[in-house]
Chains A and B, each alone.
Chain A
Amino acid sequence: MITVIINGTARQFQHSISLASLVEEMGLTGKRIALERNGEIVPRSTFNAQQLSEGDKIEIVVAVGGG
């Protein structure tokens, strides 16, 4: 069991999954998003290759209306 913080909320996973799987589980596959892991940008092209680790802080953002 690992615990990670996603957009400020703690979530638990039975085992480590890839960032691509996380994005898929959140229903965001194919959506225009950007992902930050522990303060560093993770390029979309590397989502498949990167696994979640215990204690990771993940931010996933989208574009919304704003002035």
Chain B
Amino acid sequence: MNGKLNIAGKSYSSRLLVGTGKYKDFAETKTAIEASGAEIITIAIRRSNIGQNPNEPSLLEILPPSKYTLLPNTAGCYTAEDAVRTLRLARELLDGHSLVKLEVLGDPQSLYPNVIETIAAAKTLVAEGFQVMVYTSDDPIVAKQLEDIGCVAIMPLASLIGSGMGILNPWNLQLIMERVQVPVIVDAGVGTASDAAIAMELGCHGVLMNTAIAAAQNPVLMASAMKKGVEAGREAFLAGRMPKKLYSASPSSPTAGIITSTRS
């Protein structure tokens, strides 16, 4: 009940996972991520730019692996083959680090997951010893298949990546949580702190977000709000909400001893 999030045998105090993209500069990235309290942060793997200024600091100097659990992703990959190649490179880049975020996208307009390619990539990666946290649709059957393959966390979308549309189908998230034993982490779609709280109140084990913080007017303040939203939602879930009583009110104050008018 202490609220630790356990993923692949390691426990984390924060249930908020954040991305590192779309920030104005490295200073804002660093400050916002510190304000979020996140311990697990996603990174992308990209070709080094030929002619890049070699004196510029790199992302990993700002966010060192000694301080954060880095979660390399496969954002931008549309085939299982590209996703697997990207994560093999990530493992080499991070000295054998095996915890990764798999996402294989279906098309560039919706960024909706291609679950067929995702399942194929998950099988290969698990066989190669990766610990796979997997971005997927909110299909409970697919979620269960990904768990059976050996993924260490199931990360369904709540709405489209970067859309900020919030939790559009809480019922499917609950169906997933009823079926899988590994942590279920909402990945994509959160827009503001109440969205994060709703995900946690449903019983999700964590929330992963990037744009909701980076694209806020004040990213650092939003990072702090998200931290509180996740914590509030988790506590509310553990506390157990009152049952909803449709069409029947129940007064909060005593019904006896009310002064009454004595008009007759």
Contacts and interface: CB of A to CB of B under 8 A. Distances in A.
Tell me, yes or no, whether A binds B.
yes
A1 interface: no
B20 A65 contact: yes
Contacts of A28: 48, 54
Interface string A26-67: 111001111110010101100000000000000111111111
B70 A63 contact: yes
Contacts of A41: 88-89, 92
A7 interface: yes
B58 A31 contact: yes
B12 to A, nearest CB: 18
B42 A66 contact: yes
B48 A62 contact: yes
A31 B29 CA distance: 20
Interface residues of A, number: 26
Nearest to A25: B50
Residue among B44, B73, B94 with the highest chain A CB neighbour number at 10 A: B44
B237 interface: no
B121 to A, nearest CB: 16
Residue among B48, B54, B88 with the highest chain A CB neighbour number at 10 A: B48
Given A34-B89, A41-B92, A66 B20 contact: yes
Interface in B215-262: none
B75 to A, nearest CB: 5
Interface in B163-208: 208
Nearest to A63: B43
B46 interface: yes
B50 A64 contact: no
B45 interface: yes
Contacts of B72: 63
A32 B93 contact: yes
- Say which size band chain B's interface belongs to: 35 or more
B50 A6 contact: yes
B60 interface: yes
A32 B60 contact: yes
Residue among B59, B88, B93, B208 with the highest chain A CB neighbour number at 10 A: B93
B77 to A, nearest CB: 12
Interface string B67-93: 000101101000000000100111011
A9 interface: yes
Contacts of B45: 34, 61-64
Contacts of B18: 67
A41 to B, nearest CB: 5
A7 B51 CA distance: 12
A7 B47 contact: yes
Given A62-B47, A65-B22, A67-B42, 20 more contacts: A32-B58, A34-B90, A41-B92, A60-B47, A61-B45, A61-B47, A61-B93, A62-B48, A63-B43, A63-B44, A63-B45, A63-B90, A64-B21, A65-B44, A66-B42, A66-B44, A67-B20, A67-B75, A67-B162, A67-B211
Interface of B: 18-23, 29, 42-48, 50, 52, 54, 58-60, 70, 72-73, 75, 85, 88-90, 92-94, 161-162, 208-211, 214
